[in-house]
Amino acid sequence: MLEISECDGIREIKLDRPPANALNRELIARLVEAIEGAAGAGARAVLLSGRPGMFSGGLDVPELIRLDRAEITQAWHDFYSCLKAIASSPLPVAAAITGHSAAGGAVLALFCDLRVMAEGEFRIGFNEVSVGIPMPPLIYRAASRLVGWRQAERLCVGGLLVSAAEAERISLVDELAPLDAVVARARARLEALLALPPLAMGETRKITRAEITVLFNQAEEAGEIDRVIEHWFSAETQQALNALVARLTAKRG
């Protein structure tokens, strides 16, 4: 599910769960472990990448749709923990968006320090609403940090995927690169950070990342995941998610 390698102090964590790098419970758990373990393993930075053409299609709805309330609640808590592990990592985390990046896939990238995306026909965005999931406030607010309030509203309310070119234009990603250069470019950006005086870079990073950590505290105080679960079991969301699963099954079958 994960292919982990290390080179020159940068730990690359490659999502490798064909076909779509769908985020199921096991992948999320391993991801948390890989990210939280990076510093202890001696890495100085983390690079999160995907399969060529596919960064991640988001949460594994076919698996999650079968869970009972306690299980899905746990799954969402684990997903938030994964996002928090990325956002509060003591090491800089780069997303090498090696292709399509939808919903939960785009959300992973959102919480990284920086994003390099494959140019071309690939799309990225927050299509949660399109598949029946109200966008959790935490994610909307984190998106606002990158693209401003209006663009975040447009993307989240509209459930939109946008082209790589538009993603760069609105600052949802920092840079585009040819598919086969995405990982190298993300790595180069991390190397540039690692070449800086580490205390100065790290202290400055703490200040900017603290803004994101605050969002997790707000989400916890507001009991945000309880609302997510409430909506999850609504008739509309169940119907939309089941329709999505039927489409995926038909496509693969």
The region of 5-13, 68-76, 178-186, 234-242 touching a copy of itself under the rule CB under 8 A is 234-242
The region of 10-18, 22-30, 31-39, 196-204 touching a copy of itself under the rule CB under 8 A is 196-204
Could you give the residue ranges of the DSSP H alpha helices within 97-234? Answer: 104-110, 137-158, 164-169, 182-194, 198-221, 224-232
- Residues written for the chain: 253
**208 lines the binding site for a copy of itself (CB under 8 A):** yes
Return the residues of window 162-181 that contact a copy of itself according to CB under 8 A: 171, 174
Residue placing its CB nearer to a copy of itself in the complex, 51 or 187: 187
**135 lines the binding site for a copy of itself (CB under 8 A):** yes
**211 lines the binding site for a copy of itself (CB under 8 A):** yes
Residue placing its CB nearer to a copy of itself in the complex, 60 or 224: 224
Task: Determine contact, residues 124/102, Cβ cutoff 8 Å.
Answer: yes
Q: How far apart are CA 247 and CA 253, in angstroms?
A: 10
The alpha carbon of residue 11 and the mean position of all alpha carbons in its chain are separated, in whole angstroms, by 17
Q: How many residues of this chain interact with a copy of itself, rule: CB under 8 A?
A: 47
**247 lines the binding site for a copy of itself (CB under 8 A):** no
The region of 83-91, 99-107, 178-186, 189-197 touching a copy of itself under the rule CB under 8 A is 189-197
In degrees and rounded to multiples of 5, residue 223 shows phi and psi of 60, 40
Instruction: Please state the closest distance from residue 148 (CB atom) to a copy of itself, in A.
Output: 6
CA distances (Å), origin 37, targets 4, 58, 83, 140? 11, 23, 15, 28
